[in-house]
Amino acid sequence: MQGGSLHLELLWLGSCYVLTAERESLVPAAGLVWPGSICVMLECDISRCCGGGVAVDSEVEGDTEMATQTVESVTSQTAKKKLVRRLLQDRSQTIRHLMQWAFVALNAWLGLQFYLWVRYFERGGEGLYVSRPAGVEGWLPIAGMMNTKYFLTTGRVPSIHPAAMFLFMAFVTMSLLLKKSFCSWICPIGTVSERLWRVGRKVFQRTFRLPRWADLPLRSLKYLLLGFFVYVAGSLPAAALRGFMHTPYGMVADVKMLNFFREMSVTGIVVLLVLGVLSLLVQNFWCRYLCPYGALMGLASLLSPLKIRRDAEACIDCGKCARACPAGLQVDRLVQIRSVECTACTECVAACPAEHALQFAATPRRAADVAERWRGRVAGPTATAAAILVLFLGTVAVAKATGHWQTHLPRQMYVDLVMHADEWTH
Ligand code: SF4
Ligand code: SF4
């Protein structure tokens, strides 16, 4: 039986099962899941469900030899393979970290400018005036989602928070093309999360993983949050979405968010501290369990043509990639990583010592020679960074060039709205 059909049959039975290479038997992965639901939401990688003990034909398209290779046969190889060392030094993490800090700096600058803009209107329109940075709307993903629906159903660009829509569409497109690179390359919260677990690992000499029985249901929390927001945006007709955006609450949603952090309650501070401590101990705690935006990016990333791909012939089965993976994926057992948890951070690629064994790449060519198989298919770190920048800056440029980047409201209206921002409710 083909892996895909076996997987689907098991899903329709209402349970998700994983055939692990070690146990060579069917074991429940997540207990009961909804019949017909997407197993990948709970399980780390659909290919694990379909790959064990059956032909992993969908894993390496176009390579007959590898296509018929089973997970069992991969893992039972005892003869040590010869290591062909990588020729070039890996710079992926240097480039990725530079991108991360560049976007942290950009967000800090946007935040400062926005704060000064808000203070000007809080003073009744007196003192230092700076223009409103529309880029701050990247922090309004729900407005972005609502405006995207409005745009798709009416064909009209919304006049309130249009930048939120453009940035939302840019980030989703990024996930459709480049896996969940948004999370590990440019999201400031992802960057802070990553620094926290690195600090935690230094302090405690390790990080912790939740037991499987807790990890799987907790991972579904972000989908429940996402489902709620999608329901809200999806159930409102276009006229209602426009009406909501034109309420005082909708117009100053960004100011209200700033005020949430400026006037944080004791409960808010405690929640943030708890999240901070958990992020020190568990890798990417917020992203893995709670972030609905990351959940959406993960679902979009299932369609990405670029994935982490392992070449079983070049791989020496050292397991370094799996040990380096912050998402805990079994990179050393799979020929491609489809998981919604893979953020394209390429930590696994950086850890791999073997030439052509692991890469962020499109489907390999049909070729007997390893180098030929991957020629022209690999997205190196420079190309990945360039693609992210082109998508991001290109979207901003298009929005600006067409006059749809800024929210245009009269200055006196902003004075009234911002001065009373705390009073507006939805
Ligand atoms: S280490 Fe590799 S498999 Fe793991 S999340 Fe990063 S890119 Fe994906
Ligand atoms: S790091 Fe992973 S892909 Fe690279 S050789 Fe070792 S097991 Fe194979």
Parse the chain into domains and list their residue ranges.
3-79+307-378, 92-300+386-423
Which residues fall within 8 angstroms of residue 402, CB to CB, at 6 or more apart?
Answer: 157
pLDDT score, position 423: 76
pLDDT given at position 30: 38
Phi and psi, residue 22, nearest 5°: -70, -45
C-beta of residue 20 within 8 angstroms of C-beta of residue 68: no
Residue 125 pLDDT grade (very low, low, confident, very high; cuts 50, 70, 90): confident
Ligand 2, pocket-test mutation among 358, 374, 378, most atoms within 8 A of CB: 358
**Which residue in 57, 39, 40, 41 sits closest to 3, CA to CA?**
57
Over range 261-265, report the average pLDDT.
92
Q: Which atom of ligand 2 is nearest to the CA of 83?
A: 5
Give yes or no for residue 40 CB within 6 A of ligand 1: no
d(C-alpha 45, C-alpha 310), whole Å: 15
* Kind of pairing between the strands at 358-361 and 307-310: antiparallel
CA 171 to CA 181: how far, in whole Å? 9
CA 239 to ligand 1 centroid distance, Å: 42
Give the atom of ligand 1 at the shortest distance from the alpha carbon of 321: 1
Cβ 194 under 6 angstroms from ligand 1: no
Distance CA 426, CA 70 (A): 55
CA distance 115 to 95: 30
**Could you tell which of 345, 346, 384 is best to mutate to test the pocket of ligand 1, judged by most ligand atoms within 8 Å of the CB?**
345
Q: Is the CB of 45 under 6 A from ligand 1?
A: no
Looking at residue 425, its pLDDT comes to 73
The Å distance, Cα 308 to ligand 2 centre, comes to: 12
Which token pair is 17? 């099962």
- Look over the chain and give the mean of its residue pLDDT values, rounded to a whole number: 84
Q: How far is the CA of 97 from the centre of ligand 2 (A)?
A: 23
Q: Is the CB of 327 under 6 A from ligand 1?
A: yes
Query: Are 245 and 154 a contacting pair, CB within 8 Å?
Result: no
Q: Is the pLDDT of residue 360 over 70?
A: yes
Q: Is 342 in the pocket of ligand 1 (CB under 6 A)?
A: yes
- pLDDT score of 177: 98
Two tokens, residue 201: 């690992």
pLDDT at 34 over 60: no
Q: For the segment 193-223, what is each residue's pLDDT rounded down to a tens digit?
A: 999 999 999 999 999 999 999 999 999 999 9
Tokens 């000064």 -> residue:
116
The SS3 assignment for 265 reads coil
Strands, DSSP E only, in 176-332? 307-310
Q: Which of 91-95, 125-129, 247-251, 388-392 has the lowest mean pLDDT?
A: 125-129
Distance 398 CA to ligand 1 centre (A): 32
Confidence of residue 426 (pLDDT cuts 50, 70, 90): low
What is the CB neighbour count within 10 angstroms for residue 327? 22
| Cα separations in angstroms, 220 against 16, 35, 197 | 14, 15, 21
Q: Rounded to an integer, what distance in angstroms lies between the CA atom of residue 281 and that of residue 63? A: 41
Residue 24 in this model has a pLDDT that exceeds 60: no
Q: Which of 75, 77, 310, 359 to mutate to test the pocket of ligand 2 (most atoms within 8 A of CB)?
A: 310
Q: Is pLDDT of 306 > 50?
A: yes
* 82 confidence band (pLDDT: 50, 70, 90): confident
Ligand 1 contacts CB of residue 10 (under 6 A) = no
Residue 48: its pLDDT value, please? 40
Q: How far apart are CA 407 and CA 298, in angstroms?
A: 30
Residue 173: CB atoms within 10 Å: 16
CB atoms inside a 10 Å sphere around CB 212:
11
In sequence order, which ranges of 352-410 are alpha helices (DSSP H)?
370-374, 381-401
List strand residue ranges (DSSP E) for 250-405, in order.
307-310, 336-337, 358-361
| Integer Cα distance of 414 and 426 in angstroms | 18
Ligand 1 centroid to residue 178 C-alpha, Å: 12
**Between 38 and 332, where is the model more confident?**
332
Beta bridge partners of 18: 27
Residue 230 burial (CB count, 10 A): 17
Distance CA 22, CA 16 (A): 18
Torsion of CA 402, 406, 411, 417, to 10 degrees: 140
Residue 38 scores a pLDDT above 60: no
Residue 27 β-bridge partners: 18
**Largest interatomic CA distance in the chain:** 76
| Cα dihedral 270, 273, 277, 278 sign | positive
pLDDT at 13: 32
92 lines ligand 1 (CB under 6 A): no
Cα–Cα distance between 324 and 355 in angstroms, integer? Answer: 17
Counting from 1 in the atom list of ligand 2, the atom nearest the Cα of 311 is 3
pLDDT at residue number 79: 63
Q: How far apart are CA 291 and CA 170, in angstroms?
A: 18
Cα 43–Cα 271–Cα 110 angle in degrees, nearest 5: 90
> Which residue has its alpha carbon closest to ligand 1 atom 5?
342
- pLDDT tens digits along 149-191: 999 999 999 999 999 999 999 999 999 999 999 999 999 999 9
Q: Is the pLDDT of residue 20 over 50?
A: no
Ligand 2 surroundings by CB, under 6 angstroms: 310, 315-321, 331-332, 351-352, 354, 357-358
- C-alpha 70 to ligand 2 mean position (Å): 17
Look at residues 13, 23, 18 and name the one whose alpha carbon lies nearest to residue 47.
18
- Residue 304, pLDDT > 50, answer yes
Note the Cα 207 to chain centre separation in Å: 21
Ligand 1 contacts CB of residue 334 (under 6 A):
no
Which of 6-20, 69-83, 391-405 is modeled with the greatest confidence?
A: 391-405
Cβ 44 under 6 angstroms from ligand 1:
no
Ligand 1 centre to CA of 348 (Å) is: 6
**pTM score:** 0.83
Atom of ligand 2 nearest to the CA of 310: 3
φ, ψ (nearest 5 deg) of residue 356:
65, 10
Residue pair 229/292 in contact (Cβ under 8 Å)? The answer is yes
CA separation for the pair 197, 396 (Å, rounded): 32
What pLDDT score does 75 carry? 43
Give, using CA atoms, the residue closest to atom 4 of ligand 2. 352
- Take residue 7 and report the two structure tokens written for it: 């997987």
